[in-house]
Structures are given as structure tokens and as C-alpha cells.
């Protein structure tokens, strides 16, 4: 998904942030972004997707997260299809969206967009529908990722899901010999000065998710669609959490340093950090507490003005195969959407399938609330929900 190296330190922030503009895209649509029956039809909805894949055009221009087209799976692709892959790594979702302006400008073919950028791309007409029947492995996808609300609107697919990851609870096994079962540990004054969470407004959704279980009377159903009252409660919880925080982390590597040096003992993280820390011999483990977790997911999307559509489909087909899915998953610490990738992962690294939840049953995805941009329109059609811009402003007051 996103880069974990220092140069792209802001990528994660930008990623979610991107969201802000997404409002522009979805909000003016007046109805929901959840793909429900009332969703507004995106501008490219009527463009008929490719019916069959022709001969490759010899080139493929990709906007992607750094390393999403690694040599180890690009070289065999070029060898078999003759499509030379040209990469443009983006530092943030914002950058992705701006590169893809005007349908990719006739320059870019595809973008590996994250859930928070997707709707922006879809509603500004920069990406167009894709024909899933041209991707044989689509049938092997985890059911949730065949038509997730962030890339499928009114039954039309604006891209093919790629990989995903949960935002997990990372803890020191020295401090917690028993795995914590609740997110309450990161709100518990007993852990004062030992907690770290991402420096990211979307963290409000994590608080809302926790409150949806611990304070059911608030009536939070979707942590990305909060009324003023629910929003205020989430912000209040985070303000209460503020004295417990050692540091709000911006980079995955920052969090790794914090845990490695013993500056913190518990925090919100990605599986990437756990894997890196364990590899370095740190006594840590991660878990998804009973309240569930938030998560992110990436999609390959096709530019409206893609100059090499055949190569683009050939690429999507290739990266959806179990083997490539497994390779990418292990090189990034993320989870493939193709259920067949499980055995390939085992071959590459024993035990990795279960470790990454690549074999999770469908019900597992009910526990993960995938990122989407907070917009004014709630799922019930009313305009009572809090916009992302306000999430950002509130985050400043929380972390000030």
C-alpha cells in the first residue's frame, strides 16, 4: 500500500488526507458514497469496458505506491506480454489524484489507489469501469473485495481490488504477557506516556469504533459517518487519551524505533511494523481486539484516457494471480485479496497465510471497517454527518 520508508514520511498522512478533496467528488453528489441504492452515478459509468483483451501495446505507465511493481514480478510480466512497465511512484493519495487528473491526461494507464482516494477518482471521472470477466482470478477473490463500497458504485466496478491490511493493536509482550483483548489499553491511564497512535485525523474513526461498542447509547453504526454528538464524543475520548501518548507517529519506521527502544509499550500499528519488529527480535505481538479494527485497501484503477488499455488489463490479470499476490503481500506486509494466494504464501514463507489473515473467513471482514472519506451525507440520506475538513481541524486541537 503506502511506502514505509523515510522519504515518504508524509505519505500516510497525505493518503487519508486526500480524503479532503474526495468530499468535492462525493459530497456534491448529494447522496451516499457507500454504493447503496441511492448513490449518484459517476460520470464514466456509461463507458463500456473492454470486451476482450487484445495484443499488448508494448508499454504500460503506472502511478503507484513505491515498490508496487517490483522487479521480481515485473520482469516475468514484460517477458511474456511484451509490455514494458514505466513506474511513477506517488508519495501520497493527493499526488495520485493530481497525477490522474483529466483521466490520466492520456499519459497514465493505471493507478494503485487507496480506499480514501478511490471515490475522488471515480466521481471526478478520472477512472472508468473495468470488466471483471477479463480477470480470471476475480472469482477467487475474497467476497468482500469483489465489490467493496470504495471501488464499486451501483454495481459497476471502477477497478480491481489488490491488497489490504488492518490497523492492529501492537503491544510489548513483556508488558502484556496476556494479549490485550480490547482497545481500552490505549485509553487506559495506567499506560500513561507509553502509548503511540498514528498522527492522522482518521484516528477519530478508531475512537468512534471503540465507542460504538463501549457506549452503544451513542448509536454509532459507521465510524466514518458521525453526527455532531458522536463526533464530539470521539474527539473527547481522544483528548482524554492525549496525556497517555508518548508520540503521534507519522512514519511506520518511527513507530518501529519507538517500540524497539522501549519508549512505548502499546499502540495502533500495521502488520508491517509487527513483522519488522519481530524480525529484529523485539518482544512484541499484535492483535485485533474484540471491538474490531479499521483497515485500508488498495485497488488498481484504469485511467479514463489510458493509452495502453490492453497492457493495463494484462497487468491487472497478472497481479491478481495467486503467485504475484503472495509475493507482493510478503514484500509489503499486506494481505492479498485472492484466496488462492494462501498456499503460495505458505510456499514462500511457512505460516505467513494465517499470520496475514489471508485465509480469514468472510465473517472476519465484518470486524474491519475499511477507510472511506467522511462526508456530510450520512447513510440514512440526511446531511448531519461531520465532514473530513472538520475531522482535520479537530485533530489539530487534539494533538496541539
Distance CA 107, CA 305 (A): 8
Q: Residue 247 is placed in which grid cell?
A: 508520540
Min separation Cβ 202 and other proteins, Å: 10
Residue whose CB is less far from other proteins, 250 or 307: 250
Residue whose CB is less far from other proteins, 292 or 374: 374
Residue whose CB is less far from other proteins, 245 or 275: 245
Tell me how far CA of residue 100 lies from CA of 125, 233, 369, in angstroms: 10, 37, 27
- At residue 60, what are phi and psi to the nearest 5 degrees? -150, 125
Is 201 strand, coil or helix? coil
Q: Which of 159, 125, 118 is nearest to 141 (CA)?
A: 159
Residue whose CB is less far from other proteins, 262 or 381: 262
Residue whose CB is less far from other proteins, 10 or 176: 10
Min separation Cβ 253 and other proteins, Å: 11
Min separation Cβ 20 and other proteins, Å: 4
Distance CA 76, CA 82 (A): 10
Distance CA 32, CA 40 (A): 8
Min separation Cβ 247 and other proteins, Å: 5
Min separation Cβ 321 and other proteins, Å: 36
Q: CB count, 10 Å around CB of 72?
A: 11
Is 301 strand, coil or helix? strand
Residue 131: burial class (beta carbons within 10 Å; 0-12, 13-18, 19+): middle
Residue whose CB is less far from other proteins, 98 or 349: 98
Q: CB count, 10 Å around CB of 49?
A: 18
Distance CA 23, CA 305 (A): 23
Residue whose CB is less far from other proteins, 146 or 246: 246
Q: CB count, 10 Å around CB of 169?
A: 24
Min separation Cβ 22 and other proteins, Å: 9
Min separation Cβ 250 and other proteins, Å: 6
Strand-pair category, 59-65 with 84-90: parallel
- H-assigned helices in the chain: 11-17, 19-27, 71-81, 93-99, 115-123, 143-146, 203-214, 228-241, 252-260, 271-279, 309-319, 322-332, 341-348, 352-355, 388-399
Residue whose CB is less far from other proteins, 234 or 390: 390
Min separation Cβ 212 and other proteins, Å: 25
Residue whose CB is less far from other proteins, 205 or 342: 205
Q: Do the Cβ atoms of 341 and 322 come closer than 8 Å?
A: yes
- At residue 23, what are phi and psi to the nearest 5 degrees? -50, -45
Min separation Cβ 374 and other proteins, Å: 12
Residue whose CB is less far from other proteins, 7 or 136: 7
Distance CA 70, CA 328 (A): 8
Min separation Cβ 346 and other proteins, Å: 36
Q: Do the Cβ atoms of 310 and 56 come closer than 8 Å?
A: yes
DSSP state of 385: B
List interacting residues with other proteins (CB under 8 A). Answer: 9-10, 13-14, 16-17, 20-21, 23-24, 27-28, 92, 94, 193, 201, 242-243, 245-248, 250, 254, 257-258, 261-263, 376, 387-390, 392-393, 395-397, 399-400
Amino acid at each position: 500500500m503506502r511506502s514505509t520508508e523515510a522519504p515518504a514520511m508524509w505519505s500516510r498522512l497525505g493518503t487519508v488526507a486526500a480524503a479532503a478533496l474526495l468530499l468535492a467528488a462525493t459530497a456534491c453528489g448529494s447522496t451516499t458514497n457507500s454504493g447503496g441504492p441511492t448513490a449518484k452515478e459517476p460520470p464514466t459509468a456509461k463507458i463500456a469496458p473492454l470486451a476482450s483483451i487484445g495484443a499488448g501495446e508494448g508499454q504500460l505507465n503506472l502511478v503507484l505506491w513505491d515498490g508496487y511493481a517490483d522487479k521480481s514480478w515485473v520482469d516475468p510480466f514484460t517477458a511474456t506480454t511484451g509490455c514494458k512497465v514505466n513506474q511513477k511512484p506517488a508519495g501520497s493519495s493527493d499526488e495520485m489524484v493530481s497525477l490522474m487528473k483529466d483521466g490520466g491526461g492520456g499519459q497514465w494507464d493505471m493507478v494503485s489507489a487507496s480506499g480514501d482516494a478511490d471515490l475522488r477518482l471515480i466521481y471526478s471521472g478520472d477512472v472508468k469501469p473495468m470488466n471483471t470477466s477479463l480477470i480470471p482470478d476475480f472469482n477467487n477473490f475474497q467476497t468482500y473485495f469483489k465489490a467493496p463500497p470504495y471501488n464499486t458504485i451501483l454495481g459497476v466496478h471502477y477497478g480491481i481490488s489488490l491488497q489490504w491490511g488492518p490497523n492492529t493493536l501492537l503491544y510489548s509482550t513483556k508488558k502484556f504477557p496476556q494479549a490485550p483483548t480490547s482497545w481500552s489499553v490505549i485509553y487506559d491511564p495506567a499506560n500513561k506516556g507509553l502509548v503511540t497512535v498514528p498522527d492522522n485525523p482518521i484516528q477519530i474513526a478508531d475512537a468512534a469504533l471503540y465507542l460504538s461498542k463501549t457506549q452503544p447509547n451513542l448509536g454509532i453504526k459507521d465510524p466514518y459517518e458521525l453526527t455532531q454528538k458522536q463526533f464530539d464524543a470521539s474527539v473527547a475520548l481522544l483528548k482524554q487519551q492525549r496525556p497517555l501518548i508518548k508520540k503521534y507517529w507519522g512514519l511506520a519506521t518511527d513507530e518501529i524505533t519507538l517500540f524497539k527502544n522501549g519508549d512505548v509499550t502499546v499502540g495502533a500499528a500495521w502488520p508491517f511494523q509487527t513483522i519488522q519488529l519481530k524480525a529484529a527480535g523485539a518482544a512484541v505481538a499484535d492483535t485485533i481486539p474484540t471491538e474490531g479494527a479499521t483497515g485500508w485497501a488498495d485497488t488498481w484503477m484504469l485511467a479514463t484516457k489510458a493509452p495502453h488499455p490492453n497492457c493495463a488489463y494484462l497487468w491487472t490479470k497478472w497481479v491478481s494471480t495467486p503467485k504475484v499476490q503472495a509475493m507482493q503481500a510478503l514484500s509489503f506486509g499486506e494481505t492479498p485479496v485472492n484466496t488462492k494466494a494462501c498456499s503460495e504464501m505458505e510456499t514462500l514463507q511457512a505460516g505467513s497465510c494465517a499470520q496475514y489473515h489471508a485465509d480469514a473467513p468472510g465473517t472476519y471482514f465484518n470486524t474491519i471497517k475499511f477507510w472511506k472519506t467522511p462526508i456530510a451525507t450520512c447513510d440514512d440520506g440526511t446531511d448531519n454527518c461531520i465532514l473530513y475538513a472538520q475531522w482535520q481541524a479537530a485533530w489539530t486541537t487534539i494533538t496541539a
